[in-house]
Structure 1
């Protein structure tokens, strides 16, 4: 299925966001490296929304008959193959930060570590695990109260969740004002890392999962129109950022243009749709590049866990040891860190995938198989 390829592209997108952020913010304004890193950073902002849609797609697709959902078996599998690897990586990032940034360990470090693990705060990208676990907890309720509507009234259900999500995100992004009302303060502070800020993507993926054959048929029939909508949505999505940059003549507000903003509801969905069309055309190709792309998708959870650690280590070591040649202001530095970061990240994950206890770090995935010489010789005969 094209799922693996979409995961690979999304994982690469999330890697790109984290690889480019520092260059977009700290390079000389209007320099080549600023323009390139800003474009890549924003273009790949579909990564997290598509990942979230894929998560909803897989769950609802696998449990199209709600009665087949076995809560005990489901949560046991998630605890072993997601939560346990997450805890190990979270502890690893705690130690990594203490080593790399020379952060002293305080007296109450253990309590702080437990709190950070529970809230996904050990490192910036780990909030996604905290977020996806919320949807796993809510999934039985979605099946019980929403599956019937998602199956029998998909368009109406989609419009409803779109309007509700858009109302929240538009308010938070454009109209939010300081308040002392507890419930609104909580929403303002945590919406971006809780189910209330992402339910549109998860449930939209679920609707597509329930009606995948019809969805594919629609995509194949109207791909030209969908392509035009995708280009327009990408133009508006990127244009919003560039308008702000050149209006202010600086990058002071760049960080607010993250993945969770109203325009990504359209951009993320149209990208998901286009990726379905594209990956359906490459999945059966017998090419090494396509097989490699599938491998990236197979081990995408490992890529997600590992890439910030690899990127930060590379940046710290290169910039500290070679400040005259490596820095945020140089295009060559960006290309070196970007390429080296991806190669080392995937290399590390593939190395882990060679060993039996791989599930402790990268989840429930097959062992990476490297062709043996004997097999190669047999194919030549």
Structure 2
């Protein structure tokens, strides 16, 4: 969009996106810190809580993919598609995503090698590392970065198509759902691709949802922001339907795994896929709406803390499994249920706090910290909150 002088008009900053990132990283940490407890504590009276935290919080990775797409299309769709633009895009991703991915893949691979594979030959070690690096398998959580890289490769192509045929932008959501579910069903009945969750087609619905909202955000903003000023009967009904469907899907998703883990009840795999998709897909929108409410209504200290957590979320995502691994080397010696509950809760707190401190200090004091943790955006707030907030939303 151009202004009267012919220059491109700068798009509105959206500081609430940092809060959504904060919600997403808290979800990731919840899932990972309860991964052991969700099976080890089956006999506990509080198993339902561990299962809930492990399943209901699975919105983290899909939300990050949605946010990444939202930001990319929000920033790039109105800009002329030139070689310089695409070149700059890939340069940023190389520096701030791919290099940290390679570094952490090497670090985690080396750590696992020292712990479990010291007798492996050099040739087998090198071949194994290259294979894992090229498939996102150097450590369990790095598949997300691998997926993101795939989407970065696809992004210029999809952007070109949307700009070439603007009508496609209106069909972005059904296209994304169709592509994702075509992959799911074809893989189930024909392909049986191993580790399908490491391929971008498994998350295409989230990517296209982010694209649609990023492109049409100025028109959709009134519907996304829950406030008295924005309320109409049609919007209120839409909000109620959205939140009701999200909660229903999320609790059903939790229930399926509760029955499976506790009683061994098996359901059709497509049902698990459907509930996960509904739960996390609708969750991206509810989290976005929640972020607008929290940013506007919560105490400034809380929102500032969440903003900083969101800004550091990529680095925290990369390093937190190391602290979980370290923490789990020292399980409680006592068999007391209370001690066990405290220990599992401590894993979440330990991973969050240690990761946050290390990333924050590294970014602040270590030169070239982007090699490890990418481009950490700076957040500034004014006393008037939204009216004069400045946040660079093109993070990573």
TM-score (norm. length: structure 1): 0.82
**Contact kept in structure 2, 1:28 and 1:329, CA below 8 Å:** no
1:226 to 231, 239, 264: 239
**Contact kept in structure 2, 1:23 and 1:328, CA below 8 Å:** no
Cα deviation per residue 1:277-329 (whole Å; 9 max; x = unaligned)?
2222333566222111101111111011011111111012x21xx43258999
Sort the Cα spacing of 1:269 and 1:223 in 2 relative to 1 into closer, same or farther, 3 A: farther
Distance 1:227 1:351 in 2: 42
**Contact kept in structure 1, 2:177 and 2:205, CA below 8 Å:** yes
1:364 counterpart = 2:375: yes
Moved runs in structure 1, 4+ residues, more than 6 A?
Answer: 326-329
Structure 2 unaligned residues grouped into runs of 5+: 1-14, 226-230, 381-396
1:283 counterpart = 2:298: no
1:324 counterpart = 2:341: no
Sort the Cα spacing of 1:207 and 1:326 in 2 relative to 1 into closer, same or farther, 3 A: farther
Q: CA deviation at 1:161?
A: 2.5
2:136 to 116, 120, 137: 120
Distance 1:350 1:77 in 2: 21
- Tell me what 2:8 maps to: none
Sort the Cα spacing of 1:366 and 1:138 in 2 relative to 1 into closer, same or farther, 3 A: closer
Which residues in structure 2 correspond to 1:119-158 (within 5 Å)? 119-149=135-165, 151-152=166-167, 154-158=169-173
Sort the Cα spacing of 1:280 and 1:229 in 2 relative to 1 into closer, same or farther, 3 A: closer
1:163 counterpart = 2:168: no
Q: CA RMSD in A?
A: 2.9
Which residues in structure 2 correspond to 1:328-339 (within 5 Å)? 330-339=340-349
Which residues in structure 2 correspond to 1:185-224 (within 5 Å)? 185=192, 188-220=193-225, 221=231, 222-223=235-236
Higher relative helix content = 1
**Contact kept in structure 1, 2:24 and 2:64, CA below 8 Å:** yes
Sort the Cα spacing of 1:327 and 1:84 in 2 relative to 1 into closer, same or farther, 3 A: farther
1:28 to 38, 42, 50: 42
Query: Aligned residues, how many?
Result: 351
Structure 1 unaligned residues grouped into runs of 5+: 370-381
- Tell me what 1:38 maps to: 51
Q: CA deviation at 1:230?
A: 2.2
Distance 2:369 2:336 in 1: 34
Sort the Cα spacing of 1:215 and 1:190 in 2 relative to 1 into closer, same or farther, 3 A: same
Q: CA deviation at 1:38?
A: 0.8
1:62 counterpart = 2:75: yes
- Tell me what 1:379 maps to: none
TM-score (norm. length: structure 2): 0.79
